[in-house]
């Protein structure tokens, strides 16, 4: 409990609102003499930050394997179609072909969700209709709520948005879109005791707050 040191953790935008407060509280309770630094970033950018030492730990979606990164799988999250809530909208599943017909509000490349949607559509001979590119989750959801288009996100991200009742969340089938979340550290640098404590806290909080996904 008396461990000293600073540890820098990176979170993807879709998890920042879910994890920042509970993770910080748990860290301060377990390690009151240590310091935590939390930043937000795309998985591809955070992977580089791990390798150059700017981050100690990062949560990555669909991370590219690298000999310089040690990854521990945490869970798979199911991605959903997020639409503005109207009385006539139902919550029945939509197919990949249906997704191709929707005006999408989606992050710019190389966002992991964007890349996954494009890859899956391309494998089916389909192309996404990108209406607007937005790289903040709050901005993306605000535009969806205004009826400007639809998003593709984990349902947990919508539930903690502050206004989940503004949306209809529909499962995607044929096929499902699954985002693989892993915890990553550099394989080139030793892991400190503070870092190991933080990794245990992250694993616990991710499973408690997000679970295995719907």
Looking at the predicted structure, is the pLDDT value of residue 152 above 80?
A: yes
133-144 per-position pLDDT tens digit: 998 899 999 999
78-113 per-position pLDDT tens digit: 999 999 987 567 789 999 999 999 999 999 988 889
CATH code: domain 77-178 is 3.40.190.290
Choice among 19-28, 83-92, 124-133 with the minimum mean pLDDT? 83-92
Is 5-74+181-209 assigned to CATH 3.30.300.30?
no
Which residue intervals of the chain are DSSP H helices? Answer: 13-30, 43-52, 96-100, 112-123, 137-145, 155-159, 193-209
Q: Rounded CA gap, 176 and 134, in Å?
A: 23
Nearest CA to 209 out of 20, 9, 4, 3 is that of: 20
Choice among 41-45, 94-98, 121-125, 195-199 with the minimum mean pLDDT? 41-45
Structure confidence at residue 58 as a pLDDT band (50, 70, 90): very high
Residue 148 vs residue 14, higher pLDDT:
148
Looking at the predicted structure, is the pLDDT value of residue 202 above 90?
A: yes
Question: Is 144:82 a contact under the CB 8 Å cutoff?
Answer: yes
Q: Rounded CA gap, 77 and 180, in Å?
A: 6
Do the domains 77-178 and 5-74+181-209 match in fold? yes
Q: What is the pLDDT of residue 212?
A: 57
Q: What is the pLDDT of residue 64?
A: 85
Other C-beta atoms closer than 10 Å to the C-beta of 146 total 11
Geometric angle at alpha carbon 38, from 117 and 42, rounded to 5°: 20
Where in the chain are the domains? Answer: 5-74+181-209, 77-178
Which residue intervals of 31-111 are DSSP H helices? Answer: 43-52, 96-100
Residues 6+ apart with CB under 8 A from 196: none
Residues in the chain: 214
Question: Is 152:99 a contact under the CB 8 Å cutoff?
Answer: yes
Share of the chain above pLDDT 90, in %: 71
Q: What is the pLDDT of residue 88?
A: 64
Q: Tell me how far the alpha carbon of residue 212 is from its chain's centroid.
A: 13
């Amino acid at each position: 409990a008396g461990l000293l040191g600073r540890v820098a953790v990176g979170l993807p935008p879709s998890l920042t609102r879910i994890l920042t407060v509970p993770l910080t509280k748990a860290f301060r309770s377990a390690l009151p003499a240590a310091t935590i630094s939390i930043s937000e970033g795309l998985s591809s950018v955070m992977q580089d930050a791990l390798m150059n030492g700017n981050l100690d730990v990062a949560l990555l979606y669909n991370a590219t394997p690298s000999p310089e990164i040690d990854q521990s799988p945490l869970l798979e999250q199911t991605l959903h179609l997020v639409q503005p809530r109207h009385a006539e909208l139902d919550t029945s599943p939509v197919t990949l072909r249906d997704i191709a017909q929707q005006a999408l509000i989606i992050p710019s490349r190389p966002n992991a969700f964007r890349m996954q949607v494009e890859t899956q559509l391309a494998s089916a001979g389909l192309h996404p209709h990108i209406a607007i590119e937005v790289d903040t989750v709050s901005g993306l959801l605000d535009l969806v709520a205004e009826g400007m288009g639809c998003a593709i996100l984990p349902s947990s991200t919508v539930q903690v948005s502050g206004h989940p009742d503004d949306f209809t969340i529909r499962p995607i089938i044929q096929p499902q879109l699954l985002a693989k979340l892993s915890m990553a550290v550099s394989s080139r640098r030793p892991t400190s005791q503070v870092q190991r404590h933080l990794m245990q806290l992250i694993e616990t909080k991710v499973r408690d707050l997000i679970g295995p996904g719907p």
